[in-house]
Structure 1
Amino acid sequence: MVFFFDLDFDLGWLDLAKDMLTMQLAVRMSFGPKVLMIPATYRAVNSKHLVSFRLKDTNRELTATPASTLDLFVVLEVVGEADSDEALESGAAIFDGVTGGEVGSVPGIHLPGKMRNHNFAALFLTVALCIVLPHFLGGLVMATCTKDRTEHWGYVQVRPRAHMFWWHYKSPYRIHNPKKPWPIILWLQGGPGGSGTGIGNFGEMGPLDRHLNKRNFTWLRKADLLFVDNPVGTGYSFVEDKELLVTTDEESARDLTTLLIKLFNRNRTLQRSPLYIVAQSYGGKTAVTLGISALKAIKAGRLKLTLGGIALGNSWISPVDFVATWAPLLKDLSRIDNSGLKNSTRLVEKIKQQMADGQMKEATKTWGDLEQVIMETSNYVDFYNFMRDSGSKPVSMTTNELSRKTIMNTYSKNVESARVLPGLVEDLSSLMNGDIKKKLKIPKDVKWGGQSSLVFDSMSGDFMSPRINEVDELLNAGVHVTVYSGQVDLICSTKGAEAWVEKLKWKGLKTFLNMDRTPMFCGDDMETKAFTKSYKNFHFYWILKAGHFVPRDQPCVAFDMIGNITQSPVR
């Protein structure tokens, strides 16, 4: 039996037609133990990309195994010489092994009726379009780029039916210096459930702000930027079944390690750039856990990259050390009274006992109770800047009506974005589900932030777990670890950060603690902006007049700091 296939790829937005005319095409099809390479032809029809081929099923192996999985890959092979890195960077693959339930259900790919009319009802298809060299086969990564190739983005299927979104900006300020390789920053947002591609990118240090205006102190001037919506379910990342959401930091780090393997292992340009994992808030727990996972993968030969260092910005490394500082700090600032201090202290002790008893989900619930008490007795202090009132103060509600559930739901749904800037939640949601979604060609059914509350709920059992031991392990392995803290942050207070640092067992700690700090300034402005000190591979920055979001609150000194952390060739 002979099957004729016409695959209609709705990919006009990639402007591929001109390039495809210079490429040879082949289809790689596998079913059971068999792998076939089949010649194919390309033609443009009504602005569509049509790939045609025919399959001779002479032994009826295909039709005789209707329960098997048919993997179908359309591979575009470049004719002649080409730079492998450029080929990969121009879009390693368009679809990330998306598996649909019915033939023709893969988004953006239309299988004509003459294919569907065959007896394939029991088959599941995996379809991928790859722009690659002959040696690079398989639809591992969904990716595309801007015409100037300065931005690349896509999905990696980190587990079956679990899809992680990434967005890589290639710096136009890149300097080629063999002695100082150009760095790349992997940014991890907090939450869990906060979107790096949205909050970090447009709210803090990406090339454009939330109004799509150029940002003066973008970190892109110091390094490449790689934003990832992690864990799966965050931002544009999604799972096809909520049971696939992660429940622990280790699971989250394992998914990220898979993403790094798929992005770095086939790209020599990326491999030449030292990777700096920079994280904020809950992302710090993910960062140190990922650091350990990445080191193991590198040692085992599974991951090809150089880990330059890890930076923890206002990071939730030891939750109990942070919550213990809230009430005393606010009492000293006259923001709460003795009654508020007493009630808060009682809840902190309850959290400690629950954690000691291994009741981690219960400890997270009590954390919510503590936040409610703090907010009520302080008349709604901003947890991200204790010098301000919260922008989410429920003016139409009495404090008695504001239940713990309301607090938890607000946090889990808005994770980190509620108080970044006035109106940022609405602005970002509109932007990310509007113009940006259209630009990135995100699947129609995927809503930015649509699964974020599920992410927080799924990880509630690990939310209060500390990660001090992981920091120790990284330091002992020689990895550069930087801690930076905004002076007026409450939720991850400087006092709390100093408390967990003093619990480190790293042998250089005593010397570090006894060292003097060095002030930092910005340009010709001689007002003190920050303090810093370093010993061996451990570094600490105290950022003045900054809250939880240091890159936004003090962009100039944060810009200088990230240059120091990454040892960027651009000074």
Structure 2
Amino acid sequence: MELKKNIFIFFLVVPLLFLVPLFHEGIRTAIAARNQDSSESWGYVEVRPKAHMFWWYYRSSYRVEDPNKPWPIILWLQGGPGASGVGSGNFQEIGPLDTNLKPRNSTWLRKADLLFVDNPVGAGYSFVEDNKLFVKTDVEAATDLTTLLIEIFNRNQSLQQSPLYIVAESYGGKFAVTLALSAHKAIQSGKLKLKLGGVALGDSWISPEDFVFSWGPLLKDMSRIDWNALQKSNSVAKKIKQQIDAGQFEAATDSWSELEAIISNYSNSVDFYNFLLDSGMDPLSLTSSELSKSIGMKRYSRYLQSSRINPGGDDDLDNLMNGVIRKKLKIIPQNISWGGQSDSVFSVLKGDFMKPRIDEVDELLAKGVNVTVYNGQLDLICATKGTEAWVGKLKWEGLKTFLNIERNPIYCGGDKVTKAFTKSYKNLHFYWILGAGHFVPVDQPCVALDMVASITQSPAISKK
């Protein structure tokens, strides 16, 4: 009854929507809708013929006009590949409303405007009319995203005044670094009119090799697996490295699945997104039965379709997105369901899944782009141990100094308990978030919000 009441209020307070055809440029079209108070807008961009990408933009009510510190915009990229930023990142992590359509006190709108995108095409509400049009590489995904940014930003001078920060989670980190390079190039050539503020990589799948080598030792140290399991884990990790070195990336993806099955079996189904838990204990994680069928990030491409608190109930994200939200948006084609193509997105990217993107991070740093890396202490799938390993492989000229400087503790909300550590040198910044698993904004919302304010240099003054 409470949810039904909230849904009624939601529709009562949301103004009537109207469809606006923004433009028709060659074969690309964009259709958008917005609230009458301009606080939200959303739409489709046909990034390639018959390939349609959905976006949703929120203008913050906390916006502070400061000529010395322009109000920032955060572009949130979800992982998977195949998970929905519009659904998952928005309603389950950082957007203005939670899955019960109640206000989220820790929304990142307190520090920035938010732009959610269902990326790549096929994720969330995004779709392709022909299965041949799914992207096969991170670079192809970046090209589509750059096209979307051109269509959104080039026609809006107001948006062009705000620096754009690309913030990603999990596999979204690979999309983020390839997008940042593509966007940087488009900006330099005059094709894209925006200010690139920086990139933030949250628990990001930048170097699969380093992560698979981290799982066994980490779980052994945590007493979650024994010596025998560690030997089995290390053996498969070595095989994965050999396959990656030989360019056998699809085979490496299959071996990655094999390794996760070993980890799951010998740890009694550890939660890959919080190693202190069993699978299914974390509302944003996987159920153990699903994990045994198809593990890890392949399921991540669908893991947030349900909050897993009460699958099939009123708190089911899939029901929310294909029900009340779909009705609100009004522009989703009748034959398209939210998340209906997400599995295909993962499958087609199988050959790119295990490819590292360390070189892209190096290139961004060399170009002077601000790069922030943050990691939850309790994450396994993208463990901090693995993240530190790939950061140590950077060829960036400032790395030695960065590694040698001391970390600073972070407190939050007047609490003198250590919540995180951070250190920075030039344009590289790192945050170690304590007590958080894979989903940092959910597990440590106060620290995450303060971190975002620092990353974006937001002039925001939080409202009580």
TM-score, normalised to structure 2's length?
A: 0.91
CA distance in 2, matches of 1:413, 1:474: 27
Residue 559 of structure 1: CA displacement?
A: 0.4
Does residue 357 of structure 2 align to residue 467 of structure 1? Answer: yes
Q: Secondary structure at the match of 1:322?
A: helix
CA distance in 2, matches of 1:250, 1:489: 26
Structure-1 residue corresponding to 2:106: 217
**Contact 1:165/1:236 (<8 A) preserved:** yes
Structure-2 residue corresponding to 1:453: 343
**Contact 1:94/1:143 (<8 A) preserved:** yes
**Contact 2:198/2:370 (<8 A) preserved:** yes
From 169, 179, 184, the equivalent of 1:295 is 184
Does residue 136 of structure 2 align to residue 250 of structure 1? Answer: no
- Alpha-carbon RMSD: 2.1
CA distance in 2, matches of 1:415, 1:494: 23
Q: As a proportion of its length, which structure holds more strand? A: 1
Residue 422 of structure 1: CA displacement?
A: 3.0
Does residue 301 of structure 2 align to residue 411 of structure 1? Answer: no
Structure-2 residue corresponding to 1:494: 384
Residue 376 of structure 1: CA displacement?
A: 0.5
Structure-1 residue corresponding to 2:309: 422
Residue 408 of structure 1: CA displacement?
A: 4.9
Structure-2 residue corresponding to 1:555: 445
Does residue 308 of structure 2 align to residue 380 of structure 1? Answer: no
CA distance in 2, matches of 1:425, 1:350: 40
Residue 140 of structure 1: CA displacement?
A: 3.4
Structure-1 residue corresponding to 2:174: 285
CA distance in 2, matches of 1:289, 1:526: 38
Name the aligned partner's letter for residue 407 of structure 1.
Answer: S
CA distance in 2, matches of 1:556, 1:244: 40
Structure-1 residue corresponding to 2:21: 93
- CA separation of 1:409/1:476 partners in 2, compared to 1, >3 Å: closer, same or farther? closer
Name the aligned partner's letter for residue 558 of structure 1.
Answer: A
- CA separation of 1:271/1:245 partners in 2, compared to 1, >3 Å: closer, same or farther? same
Residue 414 of structure 1: CA displacement?
A: 4.5
Residue 226 of structure 1: CA displacement?
A: 0.1
CA distance in 2, matches of 1:319, 1:518: 28
CA distance in 2, matches of 1:380, 1:305: 45
Q: Secondary structure at the match of 1:93?
A: strand
From 403, 407, 431, the equivalent of 1:541 is 431
Residue 417 of structure 1: CA displacement?
A: 2.4
From 507, 513, 516, the equivalent of 2:403 is 513
Of the structure 1 ranges 437-446 and 283-292, higher mean CA displacement relative to structure 2 is found in 437-446
**Contact 1:331/1:341 (<8 A) preserved:** yes
- CA separation of 1:198/1:419 partners in 2, compared to 1, >3 Å: closer, same or farther? closer
Q: Secondary structure at the match of 1:193?
A: coil
Structure 1 residues 117-266: aligned runs within 5 Å = 140-266=29-155
CA distance in 1, matches of 2:43, 2:295: 31
Name the aligned partner's letter for residue 462 of structure 1.
Answer: D
Q: Secondary structure at the match of 2:21?
A: coil
CA distance in 2, matches of 1:525, 1:394: 35
From 407, 410, 413, the equivalent of 1:523 is 413
Q: Secondary structure at the match of 1:226?
A: strand
Cα deviations by residue, 1:536-557 (Å, 9 ceiling, x for unpaired): 1110000000000000000000
Residue 420 of structure 1: CA displacement?
A: 6.4
**Runs of 5+ unmatched residues, structure 1:** 1-12, 17-90, 99-125, 127-138
Structure-2 residue corresponding to 1:567: 457
**Contact 1:92/1:143 (<8 A) preserved:** yes
CA distance in 2, matches of 1:204, 1:408: 22
CA distance in 2, matches of 1:197, 1:246: 19
Residue 141 of structure 1: CA displacement?
A: 1.6
- CA separation of 1:357/1:219 partners in 2, compared to 1, >3 Å: closer, same or farther? same
Cα deviations by residue, 1:454-503 (Å, 9 ceiling, x for unpaired): 00000010000000011011011111000000000000000101000000
CA distance in 2, matches of 1:419, 1:545: 23
Does residue 238 of structure 2 align to residue 362 of structure 1? Answer: no
Cα deviations by residue, 1:183-237 (Å, 9 ceiling, x for unpaired): 0000000000010011100111100111111011100010000000000000000
Name the aligned partner's letter for residue 202 of structure 1.
Answer: F
**Runs of 5+ unmatched residues, structure 2:** 1-14, 281-285
Residue 168 of structure 1: CA displacement?
A: 0.1
Name the aligned partner's letter for residue 555 of structure 1.
Answer: P
Residue 409 of structure 1: CA displacement?
A: 9.3
Structure-2 residue corresponding to 1:342: 231
CA distance in 1, matches of 2:333, 2:197: 34
- CA separation of 1:444/1:97 partners in 2, compared to 1, >3 Å: closer, same or farther? farther
Does residue 368 of structure 2 align to residue 478 of structure 1? Answer: yes
CA distance in 1, matches of 2:232, 2:306: 25
**Contact 1:336/1:377 (<8 A) preserved:** yes
CA distance in 2, matches of 1:270, 1:278: 17
Cα deviations by residue, 1:404-438 (Å, 9 ceiling, x for unpaired): xx225993475442796634787110100000011
**Contact 1:193/1:412 (<8 A) preserved:** no
TM-score, normalised to structure 1's length?
A: 0.74
Residue 393 of structure 1: CA displacement?
A: 4.8
CA distance in 2, matches of 1:412, 1:256: 23
Aligned-residue sequence identity (percent) comes to 62
Q: Secondary structure at the match of 2:294?
A: helix
**Contact 1:319/1:466 (<8 A) preserved:** yes
- CA separation of 1:290/1:225 partners in 2, compared to 1, >3 Å: closer, same or farther? same
**Contact 2:365/2:396 (<8 A) preserved:** yes
Name the aligned partner's letter for residue 396 of structure 2.
Answer: W
Name the aligned partner's letter for residue 503 of structure 1.
Answer: K
**Contact 1:96/1:141 (<8 A) preserved:** yes
- CA separation of 1:325/1:419 partners in 2, compared to 1, >3 Å: closer, same or farther? farther
Name the aligned partner's letter for residue 400 of structure 2.
Answer: K
**Contact 1:318/1:465 (<8 A) preserved:** yes
- CA separation of 1:424/1:528 partners in 2, compared to 1, >3 Å: closer, same or farther? farther
- CA separation of 1:569/1:410 partners in 2, compared to 1, >3 Å: closer, same or farther? closer
Residue 506 of structure 1: CA displacement?
A: 0.6
Cα deviations by residue, 1:383-404 (Å, 9 ceiling, x for unpaired): 0000000014546x9x9xx5xx
CA distance in 2, matches of 1:305, 1:95: 20
**Contact 2:81/2:301 (<8 A) preserved:** no
**Contact 2:81/2:297 (<8 A) preserved:** no
CA distance in 1, matches of 2:99, 2:322: 13
Name the aligned partner's letter for residue 93 of structure 1.
Answer: P
Q: As a proportion of its length, which structure holds more helix? A: 2
Structure of larger gyration radius: 1
Structure 1 residues 312-327: aligned runs within 5 Å = 312-327=201-216
**Contact 1:205/1:217 (<8 A) preserved:** yes
Residue 149 of structure 1: CA displacement?
A: 1.0
CA distance in 2, matches of 1:409, 1:450: 19
Structure 1 residues 51-62: aligned runs within 5 Å = none
